[in-house]
């Protein structure tokens, strides 16, 4: 038996893994300037879109468990980017709000998506290819999270 199915080059998962790590690496110089990590950046993206989200909602949107997101939020709170507080209507819920520093960081981060896209387009990829790739990945994620 040759076990062709076990060769790394034949794995569907490896290109996803490698691309994820390499794209995160591309973000790093921008995030270092802001003093945040990639998971913190993703959390801020959610809060910049809608402040005052519940911890459970943030975790669900990031496809993480709450026990994974809680330490991340605690670090962000220590950095002065967010504040956490119990909901006034349901004390079981913890709401996450941007601080002034967290809200102001939005302006500094506004160019990051365009800078990353520019780097990818410099690699001979076309805008339509990137959009199609994003849509295909979204479909795979949707299927796997059912």
The 10s digit of each residue's pLDDT in 76-116 is 999 999 999 998 898 899 999 999 999 999 999 999 999 99
Residue 53 vs residue 125, higher pLDDT: 53
Mean pLDDT of the region 115-127: 88
- Please check the confidence at residue 1 and state whether its pLDDT lies above 80: no
DSSP secondary structure letters along 41-102: HHHHHHHHHSSSEEHHHHHHHTT--HHHHHHHHHHHHHTTSEEEEE-SS-TT-EEEEE-HHH
pTM attached to this predicted model: 0.92
Please tell me the distance from the alpha carbon of residue 2 to that of residue 55, in angstroms, as a whole number.
48
Could you read off the pLDDT of 63-74 as tens digits, one per residue?
A: 999 999 999 999
pLDDT per position as a tens digit, 10-55: 999 999 999 999 999 999 999 999 999 999 999 999 999 999 999 9
- Does residue 130 register a pLDDT over 80? yes
Domains and CATH numbers, the chain: 36-144 (1.10.10.10)
Residue 2: per-residue pLDDT: 82
pLDDT category at 124 given cuts 50, 70, 90 is confident
Q: Extract the tokens encoding 143.
A: 């299927």
Number of neighbouring beta carbons within 10 Å of residue 93:
14
């Amino acid at each position: 038996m040759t076990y062709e199915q076990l060769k790394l080059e034949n794995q569907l998962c490896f290109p996803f893994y490698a691309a994820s790590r390499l794209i995160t690496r591309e973000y790093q110089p921008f995030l270092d300037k802001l003093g945040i990590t990639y998971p913190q950046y993703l959390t801020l993206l959610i809060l910049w879109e809608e402040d005052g989200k519940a911890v459970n909602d943030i975790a669900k949107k990031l496809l993480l468990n709450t026990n994974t997101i809680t330490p991340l939020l605690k670090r962000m709170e220590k950095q002065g980017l967010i504040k956490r507080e119990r909901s006034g209507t349901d004390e079981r819920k913890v709401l996450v709000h941007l601080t002034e520093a967290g809200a102001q960081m939005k302006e500094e981060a506004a160019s990051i998506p365009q800078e990353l896209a520019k780097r990818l387009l410099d690699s001979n990829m076309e805008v339509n290819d990137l959009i199609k790739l994003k849509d295909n990945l979204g479909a795979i994620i949707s299927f796997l999270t059912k």
